[in-house]
A and B are shown apart, each in its own frame.
Chain A
């Protein structure tokens, strides 16, 4: 069966510090991968998605970036965090080549102080 992992589960970082959140998927190959941010009362905001290694599409061009160094690994990064980057970050995957449901990881709670 497929599983998706995210770490860390929680993170408290000062303004201006760097960020690296990691997501890995097991039990499937060539997935589509997604990063979302969830802020209270605002639903889910799609940040990035990827259909293959090194292929990243950005939906929100701010101070965040994403990379996909391996087929089942998706990394969300920032060089300098802002207060507004606080939120709940969710990684998800879906089957390549199909429009179908997305499967979500457990999330990372980021607090920028």
Chain B
């Protein structure tokens, strides 16, 4: 079975600073990996996804993530944080094939300080 661990339930950065949100996965087969963002009292919105193509994936709003098989990681980064990036971020893994389910991490709340 696949699983996801997000290190740090709360990350705080200053506006303009680097954003790094960590995600490690466990999967017995090559995974499909996703990052979602959730603003307060809203649904989840896809930021980016990895589906076995390029290991560096670029998403919306200036975010990107790098798939590192040796480290079983899929960390999310953004070079310069904006106030509007304050939200909760979820990493998710799917096993692929005929398994249509996603397994989500517990989320990381990002706070951006002025």
Contacts and interface: CB of A to CB of B under 8 A. Distances in A.
Interface of B: 9, 32, 34, 36, 41-46, 49, 51, 90, 94-102, 104-107
Contacts of B36: 104
Nearest to A95: B100
Nearest to A4: B43
Interface of A: 32, 34, 41-44, 46, 49, 51, 59, 88, 90, 92, 94, 99-107, 109
B104 A43 contact: yes
Contacts of B102: 46, 102
Instruction: Enumerate the 7 nearest inter-chain pairs by beta-carbon distance, A residue then B residue, closest first.
Output: A104-B43, A43-B106, A44-B104, A104-B44, A101-B46, A99-B96, A43-B104
Contacts of B46: 101, 103
A44 B34 CA distance: 14
B107 A106 contact: no
Contacts of A34: 101
